[in-house]
Chain A
Amino acid sequence: MSPTTLPDRSVEYDDRIVKQFVIATVIWAMAAMTIGFILALQLAWWPANMGIPQLTFGRLRPVHTNGVIFAFTGNFVFGGIYYSSQRLLKTRMWNDLVSQFHFWGWQAIIVSVVLTLPMGMTQGKEYAEMIWPIDVAIAVVFLSFVLNFAMTIANRRVKHLYVALWFYISFVITIPVLHVVNNLVIPANLWRSYPIYSGMTDALVQWWYGHNAVGFLLTTPILGLMYYFLPRAAERPVYSYRLSIVHFWALVFLYIWAGPHHLLYSALPDWAQTLGMVFSVMLIAPSWGGMLNGLLTLRGAWDKVRTDPVLKFMAVAVSFYGMSTFEGPMMSIRAVSALSHYTNWVVGHVHSGALGWVGMMGFGTLYWLTPRLWKREIYSLQLATAHFWLATIGVVLYTVAMWGAGLTEGLMWRAVDANGQLQYPIFLDIVAQMQPFYWVRLLGGGLYVVGVYMMAFNLTMTITSAPVSSPEPSPAK
């Protein structure tokens, strides 16, 4: 049987839900990244917390991280999946009401996170700070999406499941499991709870969750979106479909074991630390399989990259994916981790992935989707191109500044004099050395945030005032 079974009747896709997620993505991108900018300012110039407890770094930082992960990336991923799944399966989403419940439930969760975390209501677990009632809501709302997605696959009119859908399936299966297992707690009251795990077990579960949140929320669904939107934007099929199948299974198999690299030199048994390190190093192979497949898809289409901001964003995104997935495994090696752990190098690594890979893929997808969803020409190609350059320069400044900061503080922490004594025993002296790097980071992050506001303006103008387009609008045309 042919992999594609053409539909015997026309399908009216539910694009209303995609539009909603697109709008939410842009709004939450501005909010989450503006908070990131404020935090960068606070690190460079501490009075920026204005003496208000709710605005101090410790309270605002989880709002920023959860905002970028669950609000910006979450909405982008959901929107992209709703758009591409319907077209790859040639069927409408199973139930529009469930889609709406998913959308509004997810936004309500984000709002509740924004309200509770600055008030100090937290579980104190990184990327899982939300208090237990919000955790329950996340599980319920996400499971509604799982049901909708699974039923849509069951109702499909194409036999073959395109590789992007496999990446989505890995996201849909793992995220609820990770979320529920890591958030098993005994509630003390509405705002406070105690984890059922203790000590090292708690740490291991936390980083099994934390690393796989990176793997299965910030990586696999974005790769799935890359496998759909990059061929669409480049108007050519993926370079090697067979490579995509092999690297998918290798990636999901290896990723789930890599979490213990967050616990090197801890009380975790040595063999478990080694296991995490080895699996992390092996991850280079499938990660680069995806990166090369993405870049080689542009083979013969590089002329389009010169003029099309969508492809510019996606090409740089895939390049940053390659760089981050080389840097990460290197940092998971014990000897390298001894220098890099707890330093700003880790912050740089995270942001080269978040800003460079996730953010750039998100922007490229938004610039591709918006004209098609609203059937209008993009308002300003020049503005989109300017956004691309601001974002690229911003990420490079950010990452390089954090590499410098991380190496500086890592080397100063471990420096000893001829007597074996710490050369810099006063911690604050080392912190003071970070100041110039923090200002450069603020500049890089600022450029990136300005770009996001330019995109919001451009897309708003596209939706509200740009001329109605031909049936297949393309920013490249």
Chain B
Amino acid sequence: MTVLKEGASMAGLGWVMGAMTVIFMAVMTAWIVWTWWPSRHAQLEAASRLPLEED
């Protein structure tokens, strides 16, 4: 607890922004990996043809 309190007292806005940047970059990277995952390829290819299906 003491360590956490010490850490909190030391954390300035720069630390918060740095942490948020890392988190958002990680989320973005994970999202790209999820989208380009090979096993998902066929499903997304089929989805891309939805507008072309008969009315």
A residues at B contact (CB < 8 Å): 2-4, 13, 84, 87-88, 158, 160, 162, 164, 227-228, 231-232, 235-238, 241-242, 245-246, 249-250
Contact = CB atoms under 8 A, between A and B. Distances in A.
A241 B45 contact: yes
A94 B49 CA distance: 24
B52 A246 contact: no
Give the interface centre of B28, B36, B48, B55 by most chain A CB atoms within 10 Å: B48
16 contacts: A3-B44, A3-B47, A4-B49, A88-B50, A160-B43, A160-B50, A164-B51, A231-B48, A235-B52, A237-B49, A237-B51, A238-B48, A242-B36, A246-B35, A249-B31, A250-B28
A237 B55 contact: no
Contact of B47 (A4, A232, A236, A249): A4
A4 B48 CA distance: 10
Given A3-B46, A4-B46, A245 B51 contact: no
A13 B55 contact: yes
Interface string B13-39: 000000000000000100110011000
A193 B20 CA distance: 39
Nearest to A90: B53
Contact of B48 (A2, A235, A237): A237
B32 to A, nearest CB: 6
B50 to A, nearest CB: 5
Contacts of B32: 246
Give the interface centre of B28, B35, B47 by most chain A CB atoms within 10 Å: B47
A87 B49 CA distance: 12
A319 to B, nearest CB: 21
B55 to A, nearest CB: 6
B39 to A, nearest CB: 13
Interface residues of B, number: 17
Interface of B: 28, 31-32, 35-36, 43-53, 55
Given A245-B35, A246-B35, A249-B31, A84 B51 contact: yes
A120 B45 CA distance: 54
Give the interface centre of A4, A235, A242, A246 by most chain B CB atoms within 10 Å: A242
A164 B53 CA distance: 15
B51 to A, nearest CB: 5
A90 B16 CA distance: 46
B52 A231 contact: yes
B35 A242 contact: yes
A375 B10 CA distance: 70
Q: Which 3 A-B residue pairings sit nearest by Cβ, starting from the closest?
A: A241-B48, A3-B47, A237-B48
Contacts of B43: 2-3, 160
A82 to B, nearest CB: 14
Contacts of B45: 237, 241
A162 B35 contact: no
A2 B35 contact: no
Nearest to B28: A250
Given A13-B55, A235-B52, A242-B36, A162 B44 contact: no
Give the interface centre of B44, B45, B50 by most chain A CB atoms within 10 Å: B50
B40 to A, nearest CB: 8
A158 B28 contact: no
B51 A88 contact: yes
A242 B47 CA distance: 10
A362 to B, nearest CB: 18
Contacts of B52: 231-232, 235-237
